[in-house]
Amino acid sequence: MSNNIYTPNIIDVNDHNATSATFVIEPLHNGYGNTLGNSLRRVLLSSISGAAVTAFKIEGITHEFTDVPGVVEDAVDIMQNIKGIRFRVYGDEKHIIRLSKQGKGLVTCRDITSDADVEIVNPDHVIAEIDDEKGKLVIDLVVEVGRGYRTIEESTTKKSSDMIAIDAIYTPVLRVRYKVENTRVGQATDLDKLSITIDTDGSITPRDAFEEAAAILINQYTALAGKTRVAVKPEENDQTFDEDNSESNSNNSEDENSVLNTSIEDLNLSARTTNALVNNDIHIIKDLFALNDAELKDLKGFGSRALDEVKEKLAELEL
């Protein structure tokens, strides 16, 4: 067994479709394939941020054990179908959106009117069916951002007397599978290669889910490691440069690594905050200083929590 702890790399990403991808990671220390694979799988299935309906109100209905006039499904069936609506929410605020459909036909997510911060991922998802030409279905939906699964008893949503609470399935990751194989680096033949396949509901890409899970694990382990650091095996293809090249590279490195030119992706912010900044063409710290707090909060997908996270990070850097 090698005494070196190698730093792994993502050597390949196989995008099967928009919601499924396989990540191939190597080299890993002997046994680390299962260690990392199981850790990532548990975090992916339980801790990735998502959005779900936490309560709903059907016009004219006071509780879930009621038939809805002119609608094939009763309130319980409609409730189960509502749980299948998938959202992409920009920001952390609670939203109340409305579904309204009149006349005979299927009621789908396309009948939902939402604001600019709430996007329906599966617009063709069926909610109910109206079988009366004069029938009408109006539903108010409370959409919240969270992690994992939350029961009705754990809900913090304030509900009116005719608002029906439901358990919320926030996680946007539907399935995670991983496989560990042998690989080698130089003379070391007992290393691991990890292949992990992630399927999501479309509200987040597999890559974003993977990066968010890795960031969560980093934060957890960093809090426990204190100041202890472990030296890693340098890459086999590292090269020694002559003095002139070394001096030139040193000067370039100083310029590139100046604080204000630090990449947003190097700040170890949450995946959601990092993506929101990058998607709004904010790529380095200098770009942040061009905007005030109000302008930052107006960015698409950038809410109050993201602003607080950025402020805390800049405070750490004494900026």
Query: What six digits make up the tokens of 29?
Result: 């220390």
Q: What is the CA radius of gyration of the chain?
A: 24
Q: Quick check: 180 and 192 in contact, CB under 8 A?
A: yes
DSSP one-letter string for the chain: --S--BPPEEEEEEEEETTEEEEEEEEE-TTHHHHHHHHHHHHHHHS-EEEEEEEEEETT--SSSSBPTTBSSBHHHHHHHHTT--EEESSS--EEEEEEEESSEEEEGGGEE--TTEEES-TT-EEEEE-STT-EEEEEEEEEEEESEE-TTT------TTPEE--EE---EEEEEEEEEEEEETTEEEEEEEEEEEEE-SSS-HHHHHHHHHHHHHHHHHHHHTT-----BPPTT--PPPHHHHHHHHHHHHHHT-GGG-BGGGS---HHHHHHHHHTT--BHHHHTTS-HHHHHTSTT--HHHHHHHHHHHHHTT-
- The tens-digit pLDDT sequence of the chain (319 residues) is 456 677 888 999 999 999 999 999 999 988 999 999 999 999 999 999 999 999 999 988 877 787 888 899 988 999 999 999 999 998 888 999 999 999 999 999 999 998 888 999 999 999 999 998 888 999 999 999 999 888 887 766 555 556 888 999 899 999 999 999 998 877 777 889 999 999 999 999 999 999 999 999 999 988 888 877 776 655 554 443 344 444 444 444 444 446 677 777 777 788 888 888 888 878 787 777 777 777 777 777 777 778 888 888 777 776 6
Query: What six digits make up the tokens of 252?
Result: 């370039």
Q: Find, among 93, 187, 183, the residue nearest to 143 by Cα.
A: 93
Instruction: Check residue 79 and give its pLDDT.
Output: 92
Task: Set out the domains of the chain in order of their start, with CATH numbers.
Answer: 9-48+173-225 (3.30.1360.10), 52-168 (2.170.120.12), 248-316 (1.10.150.20)
pTM score above 0.85: no
Instruction: Check residue 213 and give its pLDDT.
Output: 94
Q: Quick check: 217 and 43 in contact, CB under 8 A?
A: yes
Instruction: Check residue 176 and give its pLDDT.
Output: 96
